Homo-oligomer: A and B are copies of this chain.
């Protein structure tokens, strides 16, 4: 199948490469003109076709994937000057893997309706490691009837594929995912701080907890970083900080009380204020004990 891919960063590049190796004809376009294009060049070396604009790319593909940073980036790619909508044929699909606001996803989908293009929000969880290992969790929102066309593509990229509901539902699930995950990181940091102040080794506390009702992937991964005091970024904390801004905006708009998430945001604010945004979110421990 002819597949377009725009946004070839830490997540996008390995995802695009998996699609290419699975036998799809890959079409790419780079947003950074004159900037970093190493991801694109690597894919072109493997046979990808490079285009001069999103619209030009869109003329050659049945499905176009995007994986960028913010709501405005996706909107500009879809409906801005030389945007995808100018090239996509009726019946084609735009699958967005970015983490953006649910409302933005719904707005982009609505603006595609006249052109007969389907928009699908399909944010992922699992980070760079999950993208490389093709073990992402993909949580998507869009028309159920698109599943037979999407599943073979999602199956190349992830191991847990769940259609959550209509357009925007994927982003709601991703917001829930980020909230639950970062709250767990914060709670884990408090546990590490409590153990430390009690003169008890957190590495052993973590080991004891992993076997009980408090066991989680966060305790495994971020707990280990805290036990080793290794705050090298797996995921940069500034990205979680961005996710929380989205989340709490949305909660305010729809009237959902998120007291724990609000408290976690304050801790992320402290982390950012300390200038630690490019470190791993495990660095929330540093916020609690005042050490870098």
Contact = CB atoms under 8 A, between A and B. Distances in A.
A263 B258 CA distance: 11
Interface string A235-278: 00000000000010011001111111111101100000000000
Given A173-B205, A260-B264, A164 B200 contact: yes
Contact of A187 (B136, B194, B260): B260
A228 interface: no
Contact of A162 (B139, B175, B207): B207
Interface stretch (A7-15, A52-60, A84-92, A214-222): A214-222
A204 interface: yes
Contacts of A44: none
A102 interface: yes
A254 B198 contact: yes
A213 B177 contact: yes
Contacts of A124: 212
A176 B164 contact: no
A212 B164 contact: no
B217 A164 contact: no
B200 A172 contact: yes
Interface stretch (A64-72, A74-82, A178-186): A178-186
* Total identical chains: 2
Given A172-B200, A211-B137, A212-B160, A184 B187 contact: yes
A142 to B, nearest CB: 13
Contacts of A230: none
A208 B173 contact: yes
B194 A251 contact: yes
A187 B195 CA distance: 22
A191 interface: yes
A190 interface: yes
Given A165-B200, A263-B263, 4 more contacts: A160-B208, A180-B216, A184-B216, A187-B260
Closest 5 CB pairs of A and B: A160-B211, A125-B212, A216-B216, A137-B212, A139-B208
